[in-house]
Amino acid sequence: MGPVNSIDALAKATAACRRCPGVRPGSAVLGPANGGVAAEVLFVGEAPGRLGAGRTGVPFSGDESGKRFDQLLASAGLSRERVFVANAVLCLPLDAQGRNRTPTRTEVRACAPWLTAILGLVGAPVVAALGATALAALGSIEPHGLTLGKAAGRSHPWHGRELVPLYHPSRQAEIHRPWARQMEDWRALNGG
Ligand code: SF4
């Protein structure tokens, strides 16, 4: 990886990245739509979705998870202008039938240097992991020993910042964490 000293340079570098054979080539979602480097909260999601960011180029937009992300953001008293949204895996992982799939550990490992570069550029004092994949990706950058079930909704010192593990905003996460509880979890982003 060459030197990257701006989100623009990082966007160009990640657009050209071909480390992962199982993702849509050149589909990294990174650019001005992710947020600004002065963001107060840096969110880390899992990967772009086929009907969401993989189509719109804007993280958490255009699909149900995007709508739910905006609702949770509002419940925490935050707005898109105040946050940056990254992903553990920047490109769109698809299965052989062209459907969304969970990124593999190998893909998460391959993309970790890009996530490290994003952390270096976006100095947000609070980092929020959205789901287990994001939490594991951050743990590969600096171990935190946290698990989602035990640590969600609370702030933990990590890597010179505060790390807040949260459930992914997808509807499936409600199996593990009811919606009302997730709204409570998100208040930890505002010290609540
Ligand atoms: S997911 Fe990350 S490491 Fe893999 S090809 Fe895309 S930018 Fe490169």
| 20 CA distance to ligand 1 middle (Å) | 6
Mean pLDDT across the chain: 95
The domain that holds 40 is classified in CATH as 3.40.470.10
In the DSSP assignment, the letter for residue 103 is P
Q: Which atom of ligand 1 is closest in space to residue 113's alpha carbon?
A: 3
Q: Is 44 within the bounds of a domain? A: yes
Q: Is 1 within the bounds of a domain? A: no
Q: Is 97 within the bounds of a domain? A: yes
Enclosing domain of residue 71? 7-190
Tens of pLDDT, residue by residue over 24-41, are 999 999 999 999 999 999
Q: Is 175 within the bounds of a domain? A: yes
| 21 CA distance to ligand 1 middle (Å) | 9
Domain total in the chain: 1
- Count CB atoms within 10 A of the CB of residue 6: 10
24 lines ligand 1 (CB under 6 A): no
Q: Is 2 within the bounds of a domain? A: no
Q: Is the pLDDT of residue 98 over 70?
A: yes
The Cα-based distances of 145 to 115, 134, 138 in angstroms read: 19, 13, 10
Q: Which of 30, 89, 101 to mutate to test the pocket of ligand 1 (most atoms within 8 A of CB)?
A: 89
Tens of pLDDT, residue by residue over 163-180, are 999 999 999 999 999 999
28 lines ligand 1 (CB under 6 A): yes
Enter the pTM of the model: 0.95
Q: Is 13 within the bounds of a domain? A: yes
What value does the mean pLDDT take over residues 90-96?
95
Q: Under a CB-based contact definition with an 8 Å cutoff, are residues 91 and 47 in contact? A: yes
Q: Is 80 within the bounds of a domain? A: yes
Q: Reduced to 3 states, what is the DSSP secondary structure of residue 178?
A: coil
